[in-house]
Amino acid sequence: MKTGLDCIPCFVRQTLDASRKVTDDPAIHVQILREVLRWMGEMDLSLSPPVLAQRIHRRLRELTGIDDPYREEKDQHNQMALSLLPGLRAQVAASPDPLMTAAHLAIAGNIIDLGAKSGLDESEVHEALLHAAEKPLEGDLETFREEVAKAATILYLADNCGEIVFDSLLIEQLGPQRVTLAVRGMPIINDATLQDAVSVGLDKLVPTLGNGSDAPGTVLDDCSDEFKNAFESADLIVSKGQGNFETLSDCGKNIFFLLKVKCPVVAVSVGLPVGTHVLRRGRRFL
């Protein structure tokens, strides 16, 4: 997905939010904002939004010397999600359609995103998860079921901390023996890394790898060979969240995007309104 003009004011706001998040130094807020404005004045709009976000957050880490500014919130989100897990696992077990219930819960967990919005209220997450099943799930549900039945190997692309705990419900339904989990290679916003997969115990359920990149999405050129091999060879790819959608929407693989639509630009791209829970197959032949 290309960067839309509407992404630009949002990036400027995200830059300001992120700079305030990582430092109290107003000189750094001004410096990063001016740099980002100049980059965006020249930027290639055919790049996907996560490529610019990657550049902004790299520069913020460089200016502040803080490698993982969202560490504390990420731990909180993982712990909060773990506390909800037993109840939700029982809900999946009691469901007449455990695969779709688990998929829906994994998508509802995509609300835990500090890139798309500035703050996150814990009660919003509880609300979203506990009432996920009452909300419609839009997209290619039956095709997903068929492709899941056929696949010998599934690559699962995680998105955010906290959310990965709910992903374990879907991974359990997909069958852990054929799933490999991929997380970000380095800390970026509140996206999950290997440290988080280990911390919530997902590494004990499935083989887990970092993708080698610090983009808040999956920028293939920036990923490790190990990840690219897993990506190329998987029969089916399950992609969580907006960042993976924005970077892989045109990848042509057998991929399903599971996300909560959180911005108007993605809403136009998926053809469904902001707030929708989506399970959509990627366009295969581009």
* Pick 26 or 275: Cβ nearer a second copy: 26
* Pick 81 or 263: Cβ nearer a second copy: 263
- Using the rule CB under 8 A, which residue among 33, 47, 82, 272 binds a second copy? 33
User: How many residues in the shown chain lie near a second copy by CB under 8 A?
Assistant: 20
30 makes contact with a second copy (CB under 8 A): yes
Quote the least distance from Cβ 46 to a second copy, whole Å. 12
String of contacts with a second copy for each residue 217-236, x by CB under 8 A: --------------------
> Mind spelling out the 3-state secondary structure of the chain?
CCCCCCHHHHHHHHHHHHHHHHCCCHHHHHHHHHHHHHHHHHCCCCCCHHHHHHHHHHHHHHHHCCCCCCHHHHHHHHHHHHHHHHHHHHHHHHCCCHHHHHHHHHHHHHHCCCCCCCCCCHHHHHHHHHCHHHCCEEECHHHHHHHHHHCCCEEEECCECCHHHHHHHHHHHHCHHHEEEEEECCCCCCECEHHHHHHCCHHHHCCEEECCCCCCCCCHHHCCHHHHHHHHHCCEEEEEHHHHHHHHCCCCCCEEEEEECCCHHHHHHHCCCCCCEEEEECCCCC
Quote the least distance from Cβ 33 to a second copy, whole Å. 6
- Using the rule CB under 8 A, which residue among 27, 41, 134, 152 binds a second copy? 41
5 makes contact with a second copy (CB under 8 A): yes
267 makes contact with a second copy (CB under 8 A): no
* 42-61: contacts with a second copy (CB under 8 A): 42, 45
Binding footprint of a second copy on the chain (CB under 8 A): 5-6, 8-10, 12-13, 16, 26, 29-30, 33-35, 37-38, 40-42, 45
